[in-house]
Amino acid sequence: MGVTTFAINFSIFLAENRLYVGVLEGLKDEPILKHWIKRYAQLPKDWTSYAKAIHLAPTDSFNADWTYRNVLYLPLDDDDTELHWDNEKLEVYLSTPTLMDITLIDLPSGEMKDYTYFSLNYIDELWIIVDDTYQEIVAWKNYIHAIQKKFDLKVRLIFNKEYEFSQTSRLSKTLDLEILCQIPSLHKEVMRNYYENQPLLFSEGVREILFGPYAKLTKYLMGSDFNILTTIDNRKLIPQKENDTYWENFMEKIKRWLKG
């Protein structure tokens, strides 16, 4: 499970728990989030990427709303990296989604380019997805801690593809970074999901595996007293009809904002 797969599926879990969630794709050479969401939902009519929208003249109208399963997705279009990006535009791009309860930013992996580095000024925490490639990950320790110090940034780990032989505590201690949760290996499920038209969370048997780690992450974000509404066995929400109107009104405000 890569960064984009994690962002899509965890955001849906958060939205199921009545949180207002957005997924913003950070600048990258090869945008992919749009193509993932197109597997599940039709591209909205007259859709304009949020990246293009902030480059338009104030009088231009646009529709950047792409909501799927109550998550607001703000993917890049294929040519958005060719737009004229400066620090001011990047600041607008990264700051506006603070309207949401939680915005997950899908940043590119590996050594950061200047625009990714600049993006760290506008995030609260940096989550790094790690696995059993122990030596390769440890080699990044100084780089990670330099970023943490420069931006006074919380950096946390999510251990992905955990096996019975995985040494998560050892990795956490060596890197001197907290591991928020461990996600068991879902290699077969992930590979099979490439041929499916629904997110991994809805594949047979997957929710039962992801429920524990996702619930733990949700309580980390929202506090230990937060009530997890999603159930492990039936994918349904505990009824909360009194919140329905509030949810609908909020999403209408977001949609009006995204339509310029």
Show which of 140, 163, 185 is a domain's final residue.
185
- In a shared domain, residues 172 and 55: no
Same domain, 175 and 219: no
* Residues 49 and 156 placed together within one structural domain of the fold: no
Residue 10 counted as domain residue: yes
Give the three-class secondary structure for 80. helix
* Pair 104, 222 in one domain: yes
191 and 150 fall within a common domain: no
Return d(Cα 203, Cα 184) in angstroms, integer.
15
* Whether 149 and 174 share a structural domain: yes
Q: Which of 4, 22, 27, 42 is nearest to 76 (CA)?
A: 27
Strand order across the beta sheet in which 154-162 lies: 125-130, 154-162, 179-184
Q: Are residues 93 and 133 in the same domain?
A: no
Query: Which residue, among 16, 26, 142, has the nearest Cα to 69 in the 3D structure?
Result: 16
For residues 169 and 167, what is the distance between their CA atoms, to the nearest angstrom?
A: 6
Tens of each residue's pLDDT in the chain, 260 residues: 789 999 999 999 999 998 999 999 999 989 999 999 999 999 998 899 999 988 886 656 678 889 999 999 999 999 998 899 998 999 989 986 667 899 999 999 989 999 899 999 999 999 999 999 999 999 999 999 999 999 999 999 999 999 999 999 999 999 999 999 999 999 999 999 999 999 999 999 999 999 999 999 999 999 999 988 876 654 554 444 444 554 555 556 655 655 55
Q: What is the number of structural domains in the chain? A: 2
d(CA 100, CA 20): 5
- In whole angstroms, give the CA distance from residue 43 to residue 34: 9
Q: Say whether both 155 and 65 belong to one domain.
A: no
158 exposure class (CB count in 10 Å sphere: 0-12, 13-18, 19+): buried
What's the rounded Cα separation, in Å, for the pair 179 and 254?
A: 33
In a domain, 164, yes or no: yes
Residues 34 and 101 in one domain: yes
In this prediction, residue 3 carries a pLDDT of 93
Determine the angle formed by the axes of helices 168-175 and 141-151, rounding to 10 degrees: 60
Take residue 241 and report the two structure tokens written for it. Answer: 């009809």
Q: Is residue 57 part of a domain?
A: yes
- Which of 185, 202, 233 is the C-terminal boundary of a domain? 185
| Same domain, yes or no: 73 and 196 | yes
pTM score: 0.89
Domain presence at residue 119: no
Structure tokens at 203: 């594949």
CB atoms within 10 A of CB 115: 19
User: Are 12 and 55 members of one domain?
Assistant: yes
Containing structural domain, residue 22:
3-109+186-258
Q: Are residues 190 and 246 in the same domain?
A: yes
**Is 118 inside a domain boundary?**
no
